[in-house]
Amino acid sequence: MRVKVDLLREGCVLSEDVYSLTNKPIVRKNTVLESKHIHALKAFLIKEVDIKRETKSGKDILNQDINEEFIEEENLLIEDLYLDAVKKYKKMFLSWQAGAPVNMSLVRELVLPLVEKALDDPLKIMGIYKKCDSEQYFYFQSLAVSLLSAVIAKELKYSQGDINQVALAGFLSDCGMSKINSSIIFKKEMLTEQEFKEIKQHPIYSYKMLKELPSLTEATKLSLLQHHEKLDGSGYPLGFKGEQLHPFGKIIAVANIYQAMISPRPYRPRLSPFYTLEVIEKDEFGKLDLTIIKVLKKLFRNYMNGRRVGLSDGTVGKIVFIDEKSVINPLVSLHNTSEVIKISKNGPLKIEEVF
């Protein structure tokens, strides 16, 4: 369980290694904490650690304060945890910009508890885009891609270990952006051709930042390098295609495109999820893995069924049925007339907002 360092007491037993900015742990797993250990953790500005609920003698070491803290954390909604994680990711990214290496212990501590929550309630992840702030879009994106990738991997029956690796790859796929000028990353207008050419190098920068880390599998490193590649070779940075693409990278590619389109940017509002899925089905045909798109459509259908929506003429309705063979063309019951209409591809009405 996660406990704030200020609440630790002598006798607590660490359940995980504790790291700071190097690959060598400050205090190792299974250490029975003494005052010197607690002082060291505070000196390195460690905020929280993982501890076991019992001492090695089997006695419950947790006092009331720690138990209350634990209960409070357990009761947090995934949306709250997500927003807190976005803030922590921003701090990480700023440290990478300053030249700090990627601390995988901190990354795992940030990502994996959220992944666990996401797998318990995957439909929450389908709606997490509503929390995205256009001015801070970049920091929201990495976490959103990580969690959606994990949910897709679970639907594909991946092992928990592989799910975690997919989530970590999704989270770290843009760490190489820290090597690109901030004026380009956070530009409020469309990028120029030269600026986009520089952006296209970020998967290579990400790979270089992570290639020597033993705690990441080679599959994970390869997938984050390939998360902008396409099946037909039209992607970047290296133009890999077909069987050259790792399955993890194919998952992240789909999650990345979907989350990027439905999230707001400084230069445009967020796009309708229905419009986004239509674009993916049409424009990305032959470029993205159809099995993964099928899983995304299943998640999309489960999330959207029964939701209130805003239509392009200003009316509001409720989705009453979605055909699994045509998820972008649902039946909508209009609130003002109770009339049920079908949203068709070439029809006059489109779904512009999901409430």
pLDDT of residue 159: 96
Q: What is the DSSP letter of 286?
A: T
The answer to whether 182 touches 330, Cβ cutoff 8 Å, is no
Architecture of domain 2-73: Alpha-Beta Complex (3.90)
Q: Reduced to 3 states, what is the DSSP secondary structure of residue 30?
A: coil
By C-alpha distance, which of 312, 355, 353, 351 is closest to 332? 351
State the Cα–Cα distance between residues 318 and 329, nearest whole angstrom: 13
State the Cα–Cα distance between residues 354 and 323, nearest whole angstrom: 18
By C-alpha distance, which of 34, 29, 259 is closest to 126? 259
pLDDT of residue 23: 65
**What CATH superfamily is the domain 77-303?**
Hypothetical protein af1432 (1.10.3210.10)
- Contact partners, residue 240, CB within 8 Å, separation at least 6: 226, 229, 233
pLDDT along the chain (355 residues), means of 10: 81 84 78 86 80 59 46 63 94 96 95 94 93 91 97 97 97 97 90 95 98 93 97 97 96 97 91 95 92 97 96 96 95 93 91 94
Number of Cα atoms under 13 Å in the Cβ half of residue 276: 24
State the Cα–Cα distance between residues 8 and 25, nearest whole angstrom: 18
Instruction: Residue count of the chain, please give it.
Output: 355
Could you tell me the end-to-end alpha-carbon distance of the chain, in angstroms, rounded to an integer?
35
Helix, strand, coil percent values for the chain (each to nearest 5): 50, 10, 40
By C-alpha distance, which of 180, 173, 176, 178 is closest to 226? 173
At 288, which amino acid appears? L
State the Cα–Cα distance between residues 13 and 278, nearest whole angstrom: 52
Strands 48-50 and 2-4: antiparallel
Q: What Å distances lie between residue 283 and 58, 64, 206, 263, CA to CA?
A: 59, 57, 27, 19
* pTM of the model as a whole: 0.79
**Phi, psi at 279, each rounded to 5°:** -65, -45
pLDDT of residue 22: 64
At 158, which amino acid appears? Y
pLDDT of residue 46: 84
Angle (CA) 155 156 161, round 5°: 95
The answer to whether 128 touches 122, Cβ cutoff 8 Å, is no
